[in-house]
Structure 1
Amino acid sequence: MRNLKKHQNYLLLWQGQLISAAGDVMYEIALGFFLLQAYRSSALMAAVVAATAVPGLIAAPFAGVVIDRCNQKRILVLADLSRGLVMTAAALWTFLGGIPLWMFSLTGTVVSVGGAFFTPCVRSVMPRVVEEETLMRANSMISLAGRLTQTAGNSAGGFLYGFLGAWPLFFLNGISFLVSGGLSLF
């Protein structure tokens, strides 16, 4: 990390990834608990989670072509801002009560498709953000951040859900996407 500190754009991208990934993991935990608690059906919970993954899987093959042909900074920002806005709307709706099941599907679809563009786009911009001799280390740090947030986020998500409930975690995830989008403006 020491050699990477001089690369401000990389640090902004890395911080955005770290913040966004932490919010995303906590959201996934909160969503599972919330759906199970609200609908009392593990089958429904599994169906919603699976259904929200499908759009990202469909979008993934096209994402590479779009990333290669379009402004990558714009893709990073739009992917995070769209995910942040829909997630914040879901949090608000959950706070107000009576959020319909379709809203979780819509939110999951936007998050899934946004991720299908964001993640490969990050990998694509890395050679322009850091020098070739630090590229492997920079990619390793991005991967490490993902693994750390996966581990810590699962524990934190369950713990915070017990104290706060679902909507604050949905809101934090929305804010994490918006912050990541802002940091991607480098």
Structure 2
Amino acid sequence: MSFFGDLREVLRGPRFRRLFGTRLVSQFSDGIYQAGLAGFVFFNPEQHTGAGEVAMAFAVLLLPFSVVAPFAGVLIDRMPRRQVLFLSSLIKAALAAVTALLIAHGEGPAFFIAALLVLSVNRFLLSGLSAGLPYVVPRDRLMMANAVTPTCGTVASSLGTGVGLAIGMIGGERALGTGMILFVAALGFVGAALVSLTLRYGELGPHLDEEPEEVRAALRNVVVGMTSGVRHVWERVPARVGLLTIGGHRVLFGISTLITLLLYNNTFTGGGVAGMAGFSVAAGLLALGFFLGAVATPSATSRIGENAWIASLLFAAGTALLVFGLPFSPALFPVAAFVLGFVSQGVKVTVDTLVQRHVDDAFRGRVFSVYDVLFNATFVLGAALAAALIPPSGTSVPVVAAMVIAFLSMGAAWTVRARRENRHEVTRIP
């Protein structure tokens, strides 16, 4: 079935539409908020950002997720997930309004603290959205739901970023413009909270009264809960291999993101508005790749299988970096961004489905919290590795060549896995 056919299919369910609406409004507002952050953090016209500074900014903005995520997982496994969505959205709205006031008054350090809190609280909301999805769609439609919901969320976020940039242009002077962007984002988060109220109180689970006593006991301690989540997913080979692949891919994606920021800030342009404009083009093609990757994934996995699809995507990423990345050309580099976006979303949609299919609901919140830690920490690890190896210009042939080899190696490993699974299928046929 096509992407839009899948979307029509899952939208038939009223419960799915309510959760889907919450995601769209929330991620649209996230895009507006991120436009304000990007202009302030990465494209300050008063300085050319170096590799170490960019990596540090990523660490500051993403690593708190690794601290918050374990608590998010335990909370959404013991608290009605509808309430998690509602309260998280309201808290984000209040904090976004605070960041708007701080940046408008030139309070840089306090702005970063408030921004960290907004991004950290967002972990609760995103984990709740993922953990609640199996409650609103049948099990056999999880693949298509995983294809359309994050992808539409990414498109909504990209549209929000464009709206945020337009608001900043209207605001003119940087501090005032950024403050306006963040205040509009706060209003959007209030809207997301209101949409979440269309869901019933316990509609997204969890149903702890249906779980064994040892599951309820595990929820009493964050560390024990996270450990049990890791153990649970490790015992399920498809989910385990998928998460390991996501980790490796995110390291490489972190490296490529840092390279792209440096190239547009220090090499392709002189930074500032020109740098942000050039980076926005690459980011737009990246978002288009996200969308098309999700469009292609359900039909591709139904034809060739999940393992072969992931292998094909990883091979495509390595080839794109070799052909379009290594020349370090402002004309070719956005093409590499498009392919990497396609690969990233295709791999993530497939792995999301593997995880949701192969873990029990009682552990799903903690497993997705582990997923979030892995997703963000490995991205920061990639940025840190790049900062140690890449010059301020962003051009490094050895680093990109090593990324090509890594992608091709992972693709080869998934090819072996796909062939092994095909052999097993053949032996099971009577």
Q: Same fold (TM over 0.5)?
A: yes
Q: Residue 184 of structure 2 corresponds to which residue in structure 1? A: 172
Over the matched positions of the two proteins, sequence identity in percent amounts to 23
Task: Tell me which of 41, 66, 72 is aligned to 1:63.
Answer: 72
Aligned equivalent of 2:109 = 102
Q: CA RMSD in A?
A: 2.7
1:24 to 30, 37, 44: 30
Answer with 1 or 2: which has the greater Rg.
2
What do residues 18-65 of structure 1 show as CA deviations (whole Å, max 9, x unaligned)? 22212222322222323578893447x845564232222211133222
In structure 2, what is the equivalent of residue 145 of structure 1? 152
- Runs (5+) with no aligned partner, structure 2: 1-6, 172-176, 200-430
Q: Which moved more, 1:173-182 or 1:47-56?
A: 47-56
Are 1:81 and 2:61 an aligned pair?
A: no
Alpha carbons of structure 1 residues 131 and 174: separation in structure 2 relative to 1, 3 Å: same
Q: Which moved more, 1:78-87 or 1:16-25?
A: 16-25
Q: TM-score, normalised by structure 2?
A: 0.39
CA distance in 1, matches of 2:147, 2:42: 36
C-alpha distance 38-137 of structure 1, shift in aligned 2 (>3 A): closer
For residue 3 of structure 1, the aligned residue among 2, 9, 17 is: 9
Q: Tell me which residue corresponds to 1:163.
A: 170
SS in 1 for 2:77: helix
Taking a change above 3 Å as real, the CA distance of residues 49 and 162 of structure 1, as seen in their structure-2 partners, is farther
Q: CA deviation at 1:161?
A: 1.7
1:143–1:36 CA distance, 2 compared to 1 (3 A)? closer
**What count of residue pairs does the alignment treat as equivalent?**
184
CA distance in 1, matches of 2:67, 2:130: 19
Deviates more, 1:166-175 or 1:143-152: 143-152
TM-score (norm: length of structure 1): 0.82
Q: Per chain length, whose mean CA-contact separation is higher, i.e. which structure has more relative contact order (CA < 8 Å, sep 6+)? A: 1
Distance 2:162 2:140 in 1: 35
Structure 1: any 5+ residue segments left out of the alignment?
A: none
Letter in 2 for 1:111: V
Question: Mean Cα displacement is larger for which, 149-158 or 117-126?
Answer: 149-158
Pairwise mapping of residues 110-149 of structure 1 onto structure 2 (< 5 A)?
110-149=117-156
Q: Could you say which structure has the higher helix fraction?
A: 1
Residue 39 to residue 122, structure 1, CA distance change in 2 (3 Å): same
